[in-house]
Chain A
Amino acid sequence: MTSESERAREEFFSEAQEIVEGLGRDLLALDEAQKAGHVDPDLINDVFRAVHTLKGLAGLFGATRMSSLSHKLEELLDDLRLGKVDVTAPVLDLLFLSVQLYGKLLQAEKEGRDQPMPELEKLLTQLDRGAGAGGTAGNGGHIIDPNLLAVLTEFEEHKLKTNIAQGNTLYRLKVRFQLATIDQGLDELKATAKPHGDIITYLPASDGDDIDSITLEILMGSRASAATLRNALHHLGVEVEELPRQGGGPAPAPAPAVSTPVQAHHIPTPTPSPPPVAPSHVPSAMPPLGHMPLDMTAPHAFPAPRLDAGASIPPKAQELGTIKSVAQTVRVDIQKLDVLMNIVGELSIVRTELERLLEKMRDAHTNRELRINLHRLQRDFERNVISLRRGILEVRMVPLGQVFDKLARVARQISREAGKQVNLVITGAETEVDKLIVEELSDPLMHMMRNAIDHGIEEREMREAVSKPAVGTIALNAFQKGNHVVIEIEDDGKGIDTERLLEKGIRMGVVQADEARTMSRREVLNLIFVPGLSTKSAVSEISGRGVGMDVVKTNISKLGGVIDVQSEPGIGTKFTVTLPITLAIISALIVKVSDQQFAIPLANVQEAVWLDAEAVRVIDGREAVTLRGSTLQLCYLARLFGLSDTPDAGGTGPFGSGFDMSPMSQAPGVPPRGSLRSESIRQDYAAAAFPYRPASSSSPSARTALAPRQKRRFIVVTAVGTRRLGLVVDSLVGEQDVVIKGLGPSLKNVAGFAGATQLADQRIALVLDAPALVEEMFAHADRARMHGGTHGF
């Protein structure tokens, strides 16, 4: 379906994305280097190149805003590599901001949005100023008459910059020409000077006192030493003067090769410089001096006297060496992987079918040899399907480092804003997780990072007062644990004030006063995930750990993960997020409700017990049982979904047994049974007040009070965070690994389902969205608060 241009656009986005991410990494390194006080010019050059590539890409795809941002950045970076502007914290801020904006611009571009972006305009102006302010910082250490600079044309200025960038020495030549023969004289001078360097500009000198002659001042950049030049130009009567440099100026060079002549210019080097002794990486075909054509690329190929012969190759030479990509990787659209996964799903069904056929053959009197052969074939097939599935899953995996890099940027920014010094320690960045999970995880992690810095880490004075190191530490750890990945965000801050948290909980009615006395510390800590406690106003009142933590929790639950918190006053707080490695395949419990099958993700299932109808009590209009000493609210799926309460009611018609005939045979105009019924039931549930109180009377637990009955039903205990809900189903079919497929846009407004999956018997089972169901059941009491203050994201 995708046309050629669409594919090219996709390529553009993934490539641009990759560059922007790389840029972010480079900036972090630059930031480190700046703090350490030693900036590697190569690093600046990398950043420059990334921006330059982005500019090219953006231009190619008509992304004008990206182009103009890149253009401005390029100017700033050019100044940085020329040493006109120093690498300082404010400059880095601008660069970091740019990376952030690139992300936004890409997003906007992808969605075809074209709204004005005020922050972009602001940044562009800042960049203008940033670049302009540095203009006087120096010209690579050369002292150039400002009057001279003022009269240079843009092209000449460019030539000057190029010469400086290449580390050439600047010379001022002075020569007197007879007015009558000035053309000839100039030509001769140009011809003679050309092999040695680049004439940047000539200007009439003010001290021409002769009416028949004129003195020209010539600005020239050259690799050659002053002596060489003097020798070469002597016969034309040219005075050669080297432009003085400021001592100890910043290395202006993009590459180490360039910085060498700067150091070398005090020591007149022998002429012409022979190719350096060892550097095998320098292009070998060196024309002798004097025949060297001086074009744009020449100075790079030119073996300057190198004091550091082992340093890296000039970028140009490297590029010319090979155009092969270094990375042995292929970028893949995740949708393509979904297609492959789909095929694997189909193959799994074929596999099951094969198994069934083989089973049949065993009973019938078929050729034994044939049967054995077929059996072997089936086993091979099975093995291959399994490894194919594993292979595709592996392709979807990306290292967490992708999101950790972004987090490091966020941490840097937040700590600057908050005026706190924070040291971020990352381990396990190489741990791999499903790409989709990484994407969904970035916002919750960012939130936790922000909380850790804003509210966890104390002010410097406070830390010093309790003799903690002034610089706070946040550890970001990731590791694999079986089929799960664990991510920890740990700070050495002040910890969560549980007393105030509890106080707040009681005040908000989330916790009953008598209940509070028996709550464990852990239970109290878990209150920060309760929506009511994470409103903005609560932040300043309690420890402040609350901002949007309920949203964080919900989002992590959606990924089938869990979040846990530990905190010690004065020592710190640790959030632990445990996630499944992949979303594409989940383990699910298949259940039956009035002859329709549903899948419940095992990540949300705590246990399944028999339902004892006698033990069901109605509390505040809600049905509940007591399970292991605590009350469990029940949700009858058959009623919620408007399915017939008696199993096996589904008819068999031309649609097959899976098709429920009843809505079809209804008279026109009669509202469909399903939606109306479920609507009224939802109201029934909603009418009941929440929170419920733990029952003081203890009834026998559902598991123990089982009387053998004809039609037993089951409670599947679903847990999402601290909330539990008992889903009442007719029967349990079993556990199965299922491939989840999303429902189409036409069903996006249907709540309660996370998708659907094809079971081995070809039937489709809807996958229950357990968090959504739990939320729906508990929503009534919370709704007001939920909408009050948790728009954290």
Chain B
Amino acid sequence: MASNLARRTTSAVLPAAAGTKRKKAQRDRGPITEYLAFRLAGDVYAAPVSIIREILKLHPLTPVPRAPASIMGIISVRGQLVTVIDLRRRLRLSEGPVTSKARILLVDPMGVELLGLYVDEVLQVYRLADSEIEHTATALGGEVASYIAGIARPAQAQASPQEGKGVALKSVGVVRQNASVIILLDLKVVLSS
């Protein structure tokens, strides 16, 4: 069973749970948001942890004939039908073979429908300060720009704050990784397109 990742990680931001050193660092860097990083077609993307309800291993998936190409099919999550969207296809990225690392992120960004998002691999949770995010994604131009909420270059030395909650993340196959560039997705825009 997948864990309720969103709830657990949010509690980590509470000052009570943080050490004094971290508190200090937080003051220096401004408000911090947690992002779940995942791999799509070789690149590292991330979305706010707060909107991710669950990380699922791949279920048996039922394809829906005549559905748009980016819809992989439907799965049943404890009796509820969930439409699974291939993020690679939605973002027009190249596609590779499905591996055992592939996961489905359960999200409900618009509050209207629970959706599953296919990703190649779930990486780790990043705590990113506003100062670490470059919001000028417009520099990229093209269609992609509208999907991108920002680009982050987290400090290489950033210690993962997830040690305490590693159990939850490991169980769903989280690999810690220091990426040089993380593309922060605006899922609302991605999913409404």
Contacts and interface: CB of A to CB of B under 8 A. Distances in A.
Interface of A: 342-343, 345-346, 596, 640-643, 653-661, 663-668, 671-672, 674-675, 678, 741-747, 750-753, 756, 758, 762-766
A263 B105 CA distance: 79
B61 A741 contact: no
B66 interface: yes
The 7 closest A-B pairs by CB, nearest first: A641-B65, A656-B60, A672-B69, A764-B62, A658-B60, A668-B94, A342-B79
B19 interface: no
B81 A675 contact: no
B142 interface: no
Nearest to A755: B81
Most buried by B among A346, A641, A764: A764
Contact of B63 (A345, A654, A663, A751): A663
Contacts of A741: 80-81
A567 to B, nearest CB: 40
A663 B65 contact: no
Interface in B82-138: 82-83, 85-86, 92-95, 97-100, 102, 112-115
Interface string B50-73: 000000001111111111110111
A675 B66 contact: yes
A345 B66 contact: no
A146 B94 CA distance: 89
A751 B66 contact: yes
Nearest to A673: B69
A342 B94 CA distance: 37
A654 B74 contact: no
A746 B192 CA distance: 9
Interface of B: 58-69, 71-76, 78-83, 85-86, 92-95, 97-100, 102, 112-115
Contact of B66 (A654, A660, A674, A742): A674
Contact of A659 (B73, B76, B94): B73
Contact of B79 (A346, A640, A663, A766): A346
Contact of A660 (B63, B86, B100): B63
Given A346-B79, A743-B74, A744-B113, A756 B62 contact: yes
Main secondary structure of the interface of B (DSSP, over half): loop
Contact of A654 (B64, B67, B71, B98): B98
Contacts of B93: 668
Contacts of A742: 81
Given A345-B79, A758-B76, A753 B113 contact: no
Contacts of A660: 63, 73
Given A654-B99, A751-B66, A766-B62, A746 B85 contact: yes
23 contacts: A641-B65, A641-B66, A656-B58, A656-B61, A658-B60, A659-B58, A659-B60, A663-B63, A664-B97, A672-B69, A675-B68, A741-B81, A743-B74, A743-B83, A746-B85, A747-B74, A747-B83, A750-B65, A750-B66, A756-B81, A762-B60, A764-B74, A764-B76
Contact of B60 (A655, A667, A668, A752): A655
A343 B79 contact: yes
Contacts of A678: 65-66
A642 B65 contact: yes
A659 B64 contact: no
Given A659-B73, A668-B95, A743-B83, A766 B58 contact: no
Given A660-B73, A664-B97, A750-B66, 12 more contacts: A642-B66, A654-B99, A655-B59, A661-B98, A666-B95, A743-B74, A744-B83, A746-B115, A751-B66, A752-B66, A764-B62, A766-B62
A675 B69 contact: yes
Contacts of B72: 663-664
Nearest to A758: B76
A664 B98 contact: yes
B63 A596 contact: yes
Nearest to A347: B79
Contacts of A657: 60
A747 B80 contact: no
Contacts of A655: 58-61, 98
Contacts of B71: 746-747
Contacts of B68: 675
Given A675-B67, A744-B113, A664 B95 contact: yes
Nearest to A653: B98
B170 to A, nearest CB: 19
A490 B93 CA distance: 62
Contacts of B97: 664-665
Contacts of B86: 664
B111 to A, nearest CB: 8
B75 A764 contact: yes
B158 to A, nearest CB: 32
Contacts of A667: 95
Contacts of B102: 654
Given A751-B66, A765-B62, A758 B95 contact: no
A342 B80 contact: yes
Nearest to B78: A346
A661 B96 CA distance: 11
Nearest to B82: A744
Contacts of A752: 65-66
Contacts of A675: 66-69
The residue among B62, B80, B92, B93 with the most chain A CB atoms within 10 A of its own CB is B62
A666 B68 CA distance: 15
Given A343-B79, A747-B83, A659 B112 contact: no
A580 B62 CA distance: 28
B64 A658 contact: no
Contacts of B82: 744
B70 to A, nearest CB: 9
Contacts of B113: 744-746
A744 B115 contact: yes
Contacts of A745: 112-113
Contacts of B79: 342-343, 345-346, 758
B114 to A, nearest CB: 8
A765 B83 CA distance: 14
B6 to A, nearest CB: 14
A764 B86 CA distance: 19
A596 B62 contact: yes
A345 B113 CA distance: 21
A389 B23 CA distance: 53
Nearest to B62: A764
A294 B81 CA distance: 65
B121 to A, nearest CB: 13
Contacts of B83: 743-744, 746-747
Which of A665, A746, A751 has the most C-beta atoms of chain B within 10 angstroms of its own C-beta? Answer: A746
A750 B82 CA distance: 15
Contacts of B62: 596, 658, 756, 763-766
A655 B93 CA distance: 21
Nearest to A676: B69
Contacts of B63: 596, 659-660, 663, 674
A743 B69 CA distance: 17
B69 A766 contact: no
Contact of A766 (B59, B64, B78): B64
Contacts of A640: 65
Contacts of A747: 64, 67, 71, 74, 83
A680 to B, nearest CB: 12
Contacts of A746: 71, 83, 85, 113, 115
B75 A671 contact: no
A656 B59 contact: yes
Nearest to A739: B79
A678 B63 CA distance: 14
B65 A643 contact: yes
